Structure 1
Amino acid sequence: MTEALGLASSEDRDWYAAWMNAKIESEMGRDDGAALACGASVVWYVAYTNVKSEKRAAEGLTRKGFETFLPVGLKRVKLRKKRVLASRLMFPRYLFIGFPEGSSWYLLRQTDGIEAVLANDGRPLAVPTPLIVGMQREQMSGVYDERDPAKIGAGDEVKFTHGAFGGRRGRCVAIAGTRAEVVIELLKREVVVKIGLDQLINVV
């Protein structure tokens, strides 16, 4: 079992423990309902990938029938003298894997890009499904997106990063201190919403 898994170091296990405690605290008391993309008979684990191999590993595992989750957000970068949105990994070199019941650890370990699975005393460290669901929801609502509120101005097209309107787009019509007035389409009508600048990003 140890050779097949390729156990991660104690430093990685410490990272996992700290991350797990923080996520459990943030998710306590939430009713997650349906588990989004999580299969009913899937147990989630954390894999440690080779450098810059997260996406390659995820694609390889998907082809083998595993579920994967790679938390990403948006960041602003310069491209040909323009600032555009690009994706960024929230946990570089870490990949969450949905392990179907009865699957082979050897099949996982032999996937290109996978270096190790976080484990303790030869036993893989499982991630509670509600934590995966919580992160999926955060990603979908834009919580992981990098924000640059200082550069938002009247007339800009913006995107809500989180909150009730998370993921929705609109047009900024006014700025007042740390808040903005944004026009969005709601029930086929244009509605003005007042929102904090920290919940908005520019859309290029």
Structure 2
Amino acid sequence: MNIYSAEVASICTQQKSWYLVQCKPRQDERAEDNLARQGYEISRPKCRYLRVIRGQRQWTVESLFPGYLFINLPTESNWGPLRSTRGVSRVVSFGGVPMAVSDNLVKQLQARVEKHGKSELKLGDNVRIIEDGFVELDAIFMAKDGDERVVLLIHILNRQMQISLPIASIGGNE
């Protein structure tokens, strides 16, 4: 086994963790592209927002955490190439030591973004309330109430009622 293949085998067997990278202002996408081009595993959760641009409503895709992204690296990595990557400001650290982010947290963010990013809710779609005071209750999507809230039709106590909840409180199409 030559030195190069021994180094690659060593890196592949090391424990990997997710770390938070701060990007330069408005350069999230640039940092993501440059890090991916270098072969790093990156996660930059994105959301679709309805914005008014030049008087017209348009869907835009933006970072869920503007100015930040996650990178998956072995614990004993060389951090030098990250700091010199265009679009990257720094690796978030405490006391000079990069702090690992929970694998579970990153997986949950990825799953949630994928689930909500697949399709937009339409009038009459069945949804399940996953948070708030109506947990596990089925509802019907009626409308959006601003950027962050939805109006739902629920059937409770033999009556139909309209309620308004944060969009994060529903579990998508059923």
TM-score by length of 1: 0.51
For residue 160 of structure 1, report the CA deviation from its aligned partner. 6.9
**Whole-Å separation in 1 of the counterparts to 2:97 and 2:113:** 29
Which of 102, 122, 126 is the equivalent residue of 1:128? 102
Amino acid at match of 2:103: T
Report 1:179-190 matches (<5 A). 179=153
Give the conservation status (yes or no) of the 8 Å contact 1:141–1:162. Answer: no
Aligned residue among 111, 115, 119 for 2:93: 119
State which of 61, 74, 81 in structure 1 corresponds to 2:35.
61
SS in 1 for 2:81: helix
Question: Any gaps of 5 or more consecutive residues in structure 2?
Answer: 1-13, 131-140, 143-150, 155-162
Structure-2 change in CA distance of 1:125 and 1:102 (3 Å): closer
Instruction: Name the counterpart of 2:152.
Output: 178
Cα separation, 1, equivalents of 2:171 and 2:76: 44
Q: Distance in 2 between matches of 1:59 and 1:161?
A: 36
Q: CA deviation at 1:83?
A: 2.3
Q: Pairwise mapping of residues 13-162 of structure 1 onto structure 2 (< 5 A)?
A: 41-79=15-53, 82-100=56-74, 103-142=77-116
Task: Return the alpha-carbon distance in structure 1 between the equivalents of residues 48 and 129 of structure 2.
Answer: 13
Cα displacement (A) at 1:91 = 1.1
Deviation at 1:87, TM superposition (A): 0.8
Q: Which residue of 1 aligns with 2:157?
A: none
2-structure distance, mates of 1:153, 1:160: 11
Take 2:127 and 2:27, find their aligned partners in 1: how far apart are those partners?
30
Q: Which residue in the other structure is 1:9 paired with?
A: none
Query: By how many angstroms is 1:126 displaced?
Result: 0.5
Structure of greater Rg: 2
Aligned length: 130
CA offset at residue 131 of structure 1?
A: 0.8
Distance (whole Å) between structure 2 residues aligned to residue 97 and residue 159 of structure 1: 35
Where is the strand percentage greater, Structure 1 or Structure 2?
2
Counterpart amino acid of residue 44 in structure 1: W
TM-score by structure 2 length? Answer: 0.59
Counterpart-to-counterpart distance in 2, 1:161 and 1:54: 33
Unpaired runs of 5+ residues, structure 1, are 1-39, 164-173, 181-195
- C-alpha distance in 2, partners of 1:161/1:83? 27
